[in-house]
Chain A
Amino acid sequence: MTHVLGDRRAIFMLLAPALTVYSLIILVPVIWSFGYTLFEGNAIIGFDYVGLQNFQLLFTDAHVREALSFTVRFAIVLTIVQVLLGYGLALLYVFVLKKASNLVRTLAFFPVVLPTVAVGLLFQQLFESAPRTGPVNGLLNVFGIESVDWFGSSTTAFWVLILMESWRSMGFYAVLLYAGLVDIPDDLLEAARLDGASGLRLVRSVVLPLSLPVLLSAVIFSINGTLKIFDSVLALTNGGPGSTTTPLTLYMFQTSFSYGQYGYGSSIALLLTVLCLVVTLFIFRSARRDLTKA
């Protein structure tokens, strides 16, 4: 029986196509991209070997510092907001709405499937200040507050981005965490209730510890997505005002395709990859320790 399930020809036939495509289109380019970091030029004009010059530039470039700082700030804030909102919604689904949560769950999932570009353009119009007053500013005016030029300063643009991404993703994290919450055994909750725990106390002492593993995967999922944010920024602010909302992803794209510097672009991409890897491993390890302690 293991003999049949270990049939090498069948394994090869099932696995080889996927492995070939994956290796050629993902793995080889990753290594190739490593190689590019030592060169200057692009696909059209050709390449020159420059040694470690790109890395030298990477560590002294003020734009990289700005992009890195934006990327990290954005990822941390958005991850916290996304996961907290999602968790709040999931608690609402499981403990308050219960059976009636189906419709709300479906509706709150709407924004998740919408194209980012469309949502970005929509939010651009929602927060417009000139030449036309958009609904958000219109609402502020009703309460006697002056219109705000949301995309005119880096701080407001940052928060509009956070708001839009939260709107887009909270339904997703809600469903993800909901899946973890419905798995908590009913008799456990019933026992805690009989012991007098209710409301926030029940959440803090019983529900939260039990949903830590699924919260952890939500955080890892979220931080990996937010570090790679690209579409939303491009569609909503295009990195502006100036380059104050430009993440590493967008800076890499501009360097490579607007300025044709593949070598330097690859170095920025490498920095981004290392960042994703380090952050994920860090969260994973620190969470592991906490979990074993608890």
Chain B
Amino acid sequence: MSLATTPTTRPLAASSASAPRRLVPRRRARSIGTGILTAVLLIVVVGPLVWLVLGSLKSQSEFLDNAAFALPENWLNFENYTRAITEGNLGTYARNSVLAVIPSLFLTIALGVAAGFALEVMVWKGRGTVLLMFLAGIMIPGQMILLPLFTIYFRAGLTGSLWPLIITYTAIGLPLTVFMMATYFRSVPREVFEAATLDGASILRMFFVVAVPLVRNAIFTVALVQFFFIWNDLLIALTFVNSDELRTIQVGLLSFQGQFGQVEYGPTMAAICLNVFGTLLVYLFLNQRMMTGLTAGSVKG
């Protein structure tokens, strides 16, 4: 907890210069206040997750007999995990999620980056209107397109596969991807592209050799944001998947309690745990780049 004791130093210097002695106790009080505030914040954020991990290691009798705060009696009790994965089908659900997320993520980024480039860098009449049309898609609720899509997929005989998910995720990801990529391309000085065309590069060549590498970090950020959107989606997966062996991890988790019955706490906690910390690992692994991207990026007002 070195954070909690970090004093707030510099910017006060200007005002405290006139009366340094009087201000010292006040400054100490302030840094204690800061410490408490930060500690409370961390407890609120991390507390539930710690309780989740502890719970995933407890046996059913511990759940029913011991207090909710009790530590697990056996720290190496991984039975809940094996049961969640085998009996709970968590492995299958996770595989389905990966199979749906990876192709749609790739497609939405590939199509979105190209469209963002065409809408921002290229010069043509009507590009403003098309960009606005994509933007409108951000506001449309998923519920508005569910029923016609269901009819289409049902008629086309796609309902027994993961294709409805892949297609829908690709389309739903496009508005935000196009919009964010357009803003990132806007921040690249136009001279760069103009110079490349002067050197005789064709547009498509310039797109792949100059433009894409220039916004590589932005693409990475957008891909990460989209990954979490798609991975965490429930509405689309719940609508278009009707058989147990095609369920994504979120739909599977939702039906988990039903499968084990309300009383089986351990496997449910273990399944939540796997889902939560799997996602968290991806985030931690890629976090630094995502934060820089979000902060430097397009979402500013």
Which residues of A pack against B, CB within 8 Å? 1-2, 4-8, 10-11, 13-15, 17-19, 21-22, 24-30, 32-33, 36, 43-44, 89, 92, 96-98, 100, 103-111, 113-119, 121-123, 125-126, 131-135, 137-138, 167, 171, 175-176, 178-180, 182-183, 190, 193-194, 198, 213-218, 221, 224, 227-228, 230-231, 234-235, 249, 252-253, 256-257, 262, 265-266, 268-270, 272-273, 276-277, 280
Distance of A254 from chain B, by nearest CB (Å): 11
Docked complex Cα distance between A214 and B67 (Å): 45
Supposing A8-B124, A121-B268 touch, asked if A97 and B34 sit within 8 A by C-beta, the answer is yes
- B235 adjacent to A132 (CB under 8 Å): no
- For the complex of A and B, list the 9 residue pairs with the smallest distance between their C-beta atoms, beginning with the closest: A25-B171, A18-B115, A213-B301, A10-B203, A29-B148, A32-B148, A217-B301, A14-B118, A29-B145
Docked complex Cα distance between A135 and B78 (Å): 22
Nearest CB in chain A to that of B268: its residue: A121
Q: Which of A6, A198, A213 contacts B15 (CB 8 A)?
A: A198
Q: Does B68 contact A (CB under 8 A)?
A: yes
Q: Does B19 contact A (CB under 8 A)?
A: no
Size of the chain B interface, CB-CB below 8 angstroms: 106
The dominant DSSP class at the A interface is helix
Distance of B107 from chain A, by nearest CB (Å): 8
- A14 adjacent to B122 (CB under 8 Å): yes
- B172 adjacent to A217 (CB under 8 Å): no
Nearest CB in chain A to that of B299: its residue: A176
**For B3, B141, B150, which residue has the most chain A Cβ atoms within 10 angstroms?**
B141
Q: Does B121 contact A (CB under 8 A)?
A: yes
Nearest CB in chain B to that of A268: its residue: B143
Q: Which of B48, B150, B194, B234 contacts A231 (CB 8 A)?
A: B234
Supposing A10-B203, A106-B287, A217-B299 touch, asked if A1 and B121 sit within 8 A by C-beta, the answer is no
Distance of A137 from chain B, by nearest CB (Å): 8
Question: B21-65: which residues lie under 8 A (CB-CB) from chain A?
Answer: 34, 37-38, 41-42, 44-46, 48-49, 51-52, 55, 63-64
- B145 adjacent to A33 (CB under 8 Å): yes
- A26 adjacent to B122 (CB under 8 Å): no
Chain B 287-301, CB within 8 Å of chain A: the 1/0 string? 100010011110111
- B250 adjacent to A115 (CB under 8 Å): yes
Supposing A21-B170, A25-B149, A113-B280 touch, asked if A193 and B275 sit within 8 A by C-beta, the answer is no
